[in-house]
Structure 1
Amino acid sequence: MLLHLFPPSSAAPACPSPRRPCGGAAASTVRCASSSAASSHGKQVANVHNYGTVDFERRRALRWSSLYRRVAVGNGGRPVGRTLADWDEGERRLDKWELCRIARELRKFRRFHLALQVYDWMTERRDRFSLSASDMAIQLDLIAKVRGVQDAEEYFENLPDSMKDKRTYGSLLNVYAQAKMKEKTENTFKLMRKKGYAIDTLPFNVLMNFYVDVDEPEKVTTVTDEMKKRNVAFDVCTYNIWIKSCAAMKDADGIEQIFNQMIADESVVANWTTYTTLASMHIKLENFEKAEECLKEAEKRTTGRDKKCFHFLITLYSHLQKKEEVYRIWNWYKATFKTIHNLGYQEVLSALVRLGDIEGAELLYEEWASKSSSFDPKTMNILLAWYSREGFVVKAEQTLNRFLEKGGNPKPNTWEILASAYLKDNQLSEALSCMEKAAAVTSASRWRPRPANVESLLAYFKEKNDTESVDRLKTVLESRGCAEKEEYKSLINTYAFAGT
């Protein structure tokens, strides 16, 4: 989740979030986007700690981008390691800078499983590639995202003591914070403090953001007080999170006070993130005029290098029901960047659906479908979900069928979206079939069927005394690890009937 209360939407609800580090700290993601302010402000840009994670030798890109494209598209479904090995042996010997650059690009577009394979390939060749604590912090973060917290913990425990420094501890702290594991987050921070690693802004930002995420915004002030006591400098991300905590408590005066303190801090320059954060806070507090003023200030600080700013502007203007502004920013976006990736289309599609401009959303989807070479189901799911909610079953079927014809691979939640449409249309056997297709998708997805959908199916099958369908639904639940989950067990018990 990014810092904003109304994060750019994708197919699934956010957190936005994702939740990214302010200024590029490699492994830690404080979920606060930032951008460089224009030099005309005459103030020093906030010092953002990257802990050396992008401190690679600057050199001409050569052909790393060609290899990146080959890795990113999957190269015919081949494992990343084989693609790298073939390039290394047949094209040109790879160096660490190129591989780290490829991994960084993959992470930027949330292709975490591919980025992890790049690091795994380097790790297998430790005699050739010297991996630093910064690299291991990145790898730990990727392991958590791809394989889960437990694997990340095991990775950390197996690190040499010399590599357990502020970077790897900071990465572990962020893993726990993102997983909302309160005890482990707080204990890790205490351990970092004890070891003398809590001396930079980043771990404090992670802890502050964690308290906002777990609905304890009142604790943020204790963190900022400790930073002042320890003379830890605030950066733009610190102020943004602090502002967010005040908004969570609906403290409008607090927001203004912190913003004024930020403006008075000569070491920090308010950037577009600050103003989009303020805008989202004002929207939450229904101060719509102030929100629009903040968005205009954010636009003044927008550069042509950062797509995220356009995403937030589109999303926030849609929350203000400013359709003409959404289209204006979208046209500016397309004029600025030669290529618009899937995420850009997802943001504006979500905005148009939020505005009720379905005709515009359908035209935009057709534009995406005609241009895209990577049929991300998240893009289609946005329109599919609207059709499902509004009861347009035939349109939902047609949209998914066209997606399949173009070679797209639906995710489990794609099938459940269509199942929801069938449930509303009382096509229960078709809905069950979609659930089975969702369960059959072989991916790293942690998808589990929505309990409400399971309940609707069970109630219908009980009414029809359809034990065969109940068994099929139970198989779906078992295949996705739901059988022992209390909420599903209680549903099965509630709707149990003779013969099941």
Structure 2
Amino acid sequence: MRVVNRVLKLCSSSSSSSCSTVTELTRNLSTLLHNFTSITTNPEPISNKYRTRSRSRSPLKGRRKPSKAATCLCHSLGVLNNIEDGSVDRVLNEWISTQGKSFNKDDILVSVDYLRSRNKFNHALQLLEWTEKRSLIWLSNREHAIYIVLLGKTRGVEAAEKYFAELPESAKRKSTYGSLLHCYCFKKMTEKAIVLCEKMKALNFPLNSFDYSSLMTLHMKLGQPDKVALVMKEMKEKGIKQHIYNYKLLINSYASLNDINAVEKVEEEIKTVRSIVPDWNFFCNLSAIYIAAGFLEKAELNLKNVEKLKLYDSRPFHFLLNLYASIGKPEEVYRVWQSLKSAFPKTSNLSYLTMLQVLSRLEDMEGLKRCFEEWEPHCLSDDVRLPNVLIKAYLKRDMIEEAKLLLDRTLKKGCEPNFATYVLFIDFFVKIHDMDLALNYMRVGTSYVKNPERKMYIEYVSMFQKYCEERNDVDGAEEFMTLMQDAVSLDPVVRDIDASLRDEVDTFSAKRLSKLFHYGTISDDH
């Protein structure tokens, strides 16, 4: 997902510039694609080149059909954001005690798969831990393998190694070794990966497509995209069946090398491999690559391929909206938006947020206001990220009064802002060199700092400290430190930030600080 979002950001800033812009975009592919992870209505008949068998499954399809209770719980867990340890436990315990629901093993494992598919690895791990503590399921080698991967992603390789070491010898099989190899490759632990591969060979555990995809990922992370093709060649020579993930990584490696001809050849090869059925994120990834390279017609063709698949959730629609915007097709954006709302009548906040962000990128102010007005009276729950998009658009156009009115309306509704809300105003007043008003918004915003905003907050603290120093503004510096002391006494998050400021705040260079003044918003991750 990250690669597509970063491609979109580059594309939106380039607008309709010359060939040099396309060259610059393709030159950036090596940086964009090595971090790629999977990015998770029938306009015309599907081409015969691609099979109609789609593996864009319902996220809840699994071994057996999950119970209605498990399906409902799965979605309840899926909407939890930035949870701390124990959150899933509380939800599950409440579910059991108040509703008397019970689960079979398939329900639990399907729910784990669902959460993993949405990159909610901590949720999935806590669900497995909760069931294991209560001895609700017996973990097979497959579940042990999943456990290891989840530990590696959430608590680090050492936790994964410890879990693996404590497994009984009977559970140290091909799947669990493969998961540990995945952890090593994901964290660029080359030596450990080599040693483990040798041990797997000695144990007569042949590498499969999952293991080879881990090695491909390692090469991409090490900045060695040229070696990915060699890994794929070895797979073919050994007769190892390729998976769609192997082809995704191969395509990304060629894109990193700016070899679009090779990307096209792989795309054609996939059409001839009967065992490979491209899914929606494959087509979206390919479309993003073509957009970055300036091949907009090819990009649009792949977006049409996405629309020919049976789509079970809103994620592919979100990427269609963004990617159609990137190729300058606002009419397609609106068409996909109507399709999304038809497919999901209870349209989520995330879908509205995606559409608002897309309209903002398209500079469609009228459409942006209409979409917000459509969402506001029918919103399923308050989410400050949505008004933030419109506030940012107003401030970008120097419509300060409209932005203030929207903030007031949002607060009166009981929707709690975040620090990023006030950053929008801070940036605006910094831009027009009104530091007093910027500091006022900093003062108010301090009480809304949350853990995910720690880094952004420290950067703004550094900015104001630097400003006071440069102006020899003793009164301003004292006022700012008083503000910090008040915030520290009230909020444990800010208290933690204050403790880290002494070590971190001086690490920001003058060059970085000057960028804060010049470019405005530091981060949109809120």
Scaled to the shorter chain, the TM-score interval is 0.7 to 0.9
Question: Which residue of structure 1 aligns with residue 288 of structure 2?
Answer: 280
Is 1:318 the equivalent of 2:321? Answer: no
Task: Output the TM-score relative to the length of structure 1.
Answer: 0.75
Please list the CA deviations of residues 461-481 of structure 1 after superposition, one character each: whole Å capped at 9, or x if unmatched. 221223324535697584373
Q: 1:233–1:190: structure 2 CA closer, same or farther, 3 Å change rule?
A: farther
User: What's the Cα RMSD here?
Assistant: 4.2
Question: Which residue of structure 2 aligns with residue 356 of structure 1?
Answer: 363
Is 1:97 the equivalent of 2:103? Answer: no
Question: Which residue of structure 1 aligns with residue 382 of structure 2?
Answer: 375
8 Å contact 1:3–1:241 — kept in the other structure?
A: no
Q: 1:322–1:93: structure 2 CA closer, same or farther, 3 Å change rule?
A: closer
Kindly provide the amino acid, as one letter, of the partner of residue 195 in structure 1.
M
Partners of 1:406 and 1:214 lie apart in 2 by 49
Question: Which residue of structure 1 aligns with residue 266 of structure 2?
Answer: 258
Is 1:437 the equivalent of 2:447? Answer: yes
Instruction: Tell me which of 118, 121, 124 is aligned to 2:130.
Output: 121
Partners of 1:31 and 1:120 lie apart in 2 by 25
Higher mean alpha-carbon deviation, 255-264 vs 349-358, is at: 255-264
Cα distance, 1:233 vs. partner?
A: 2.0
Partners of 1:146 and 1:411 lie apart in 2 by 25
Question: Which residue of structure 1 aligns with residue 27 of structure 2?
Answer: none
User: What SS does the corresponding residue of 1:447 show, helix, strand or coil?
Assistant: helix
Cα distance, 1:457 vs. partner?
A: 1.4
Cα distance, 1:341 vs. partner?
A: 2.5
Q: 1:162–1:343: structure 2 CA closer, same or farther, 3 Å change rule?
A: farther
Cα distance, 1:3 vs. partner?
A: 6.2
Is 1:135 the equivalent of 2:161? Answer: no
Kindly provide the amino acid, as one letter, of the partner of residue 254 in structure 1.
A
Partners of 2:139 and 2:169 lie apart in 1 by 14
Is 1:327 the equivalent of 2:334? Answer: yes
8 Å contact 1:201–1:233 — kept in the other structure?
A: yes
Cα distance, 1:215 vs. partner?
A: 4.4
Cα distance, 1:332 vs. partner?
A: 1.4
Question: Which residue of structure 1 aligns with residue 507 of structure 2?
Answer: 488
Instruction: Tell me which of 350, 353, 365 is aligned to 2:372.
Output: 365
Percent identity over paired residues: 27
Please list the CA deviations of residues 311-348 of structure 1 after superposition, one character each: whole Å capped at 9, or x if unmatched. 22211110011101100111112222333333322322
Question: Which residue of structure 2 aligns with residue 479 of structure 1?
Answer: 498
Instruction: Tell me which of 345, 362, 378 is aligned to 2:352.
Output: 345
Higher mean alpha-carbon deviation, 303-312 vs 411-420, is at: 411-420
Is 1:459 the equivalent of 2:478? Answer: no
Partners of 2:328 and 2:158 lie apart in 1 by 43
Kindly provide the amino acid, as one letter, of the partner of residue 340 in structure 2.
Y
8 Å contact 2:89–2:127 — kept in the other structure?
A: yes
Instruction: Tell me which of 241, 253, 277 is aligned to 1:269.
Output: 277
8 Å contact 1:279–1:292 — kept in the other structure?
A: yes
Question: Which residue of structure 1 aligns with residue 70 of structure 2?
Answer: 64
Specify every segment of 5 or more residues in structure 1 that has no aligned partner in the other structure, as ranges.
10-18, 20-28, 496-500
Partners of 1:414 and 1:145 lie apart in 2 by 30
Question: Which residue of structure 1 aligns with residue 12 of structure 2?
Answer: none
Kindly provide the amino acid, as one letter, of the partner of residue 349 in structure 2.
N
Please list the CA deviations of residues 334-367 of structure 1 after superposition, one character each: whole Å capped at 9, or x if unmatched. 2223333333223222221111112212322333
Instruction: Tell me which of 187, 190, 198 is aligned to 2:192.
Output: 187
Q: 1:147–1:279: structure 2 CA closer, same or farther, 3 Å change rule?
A: same
Is 1:291 the equivalent of 2:299? Answer: yes
Partners of 2:194 and 2:61 lie apart in 1 by 25
Partners of 2:79 and 2:278 lie apart in 1 by 37
Partners of 1:55 and 1:336 lie apart in 2 by 18
Question: Which residue of structure 2 aligns with residue 12 of structure 1?
Answer: none
Kindly provide the amino acid, as one letter, of the partner of residue 356 in structure 2.
L
Question: Which residue of structure 2 aligns with residue 230 of structure 1?
Answer: 238
Show the 5 A alignment for 1:97-246. Answer: 97-109=106-118, 111-126=120-135, 128-143=136-151, 147=155, 151-152=159-160, 154-175=162-183, 181-182=187-188, 184=189, 187-188=192-193, 191-192=196-197, 194-196=199-201, 199-212=207-220, 215-246=223-254
Count of matched residue pairs: 459
Partners of 2:177 and 2:425 lie apart in 1 by 43
Task: Output the TM-score relative to the length of structure 2.
Answer: 0.72
8 Å contact 2:39–2:285 — kept in the other structure?
A: no
* Bigger fraction of residues in helix: 2
8 Å contact 1:388–1:420 — kept in the other structure?
A: no
User: What SS does the corresponding residue of 2:503 show, helix, strand or coil?
Assistant: coil
Q: 1:386–1:482: structure 2 CA closer, same or farther, 3 Å change rule?
A: farther
8 Å contact 2:69–2:101 — kept in the other structure?
A: no
Kindly provide the amino acid, as one letter, of the partner of residue 64 in structure 1.
A
8 Å contact 2:286–2:302 — kept in the other structure?
A: yes
8 Å contact 1:7–1:315 — kept in the other structure?
A: no
8 Å contact 2:349–2:383 — kept in the other structure?
A: yes
Kindly provide the amino acid, as one letter, of the partner of residue 485 in structure 1.
E
Q: 1:470–1:116: structure 2 CA closer, same or farther, 3 Å change rule?
A: same
8 Å contact 1:342–1:376 — kept in the other structure?
A: yes
Q: 1:8–1:286: structure 2 CA closer, same or farther, 3 Å change rule?
A: closer
Partners of 1:377 and 1:306 lie apart in 2 by 23
8 Å contact 2:112–2:127 — kept in the other structure?
A: yes
Higher mean alpha-carbon deviation, 221-230 vs 211-220, is at: 211-220
Q: 1:269–1:70: structure 2 CA closer, same or farther, 3 Å change rule?
A: closer
Higher mean alpha-carbon deviation, 281-290 vs 110-119, is at: 110-119
Cα distance, 1:57 vs. partner?
A: 5.1
Q: 1:332–1:71: structure 2 CA closer, same or farther, 3 Å change rule?
A: closer
User: What SS does the corresponding residue of 1:205 show, helix, strand or coil?
Assistant: helix
Q: 1:298–1:467: structure 2 CA closer, same or farther, 3 Å change rule?
A: closer
Partners of 1:160 and 1:410 lie apart in 2 by 50
Kindly provide the amino acid, as one letter, of the partner of residue 134 in structure 1.
R
Partners of 1:396 and 1:165 lie apart in 2 by 59
Kindly provide the amino acid, as one letter, of the partner of residue 64 in structure 2.
R
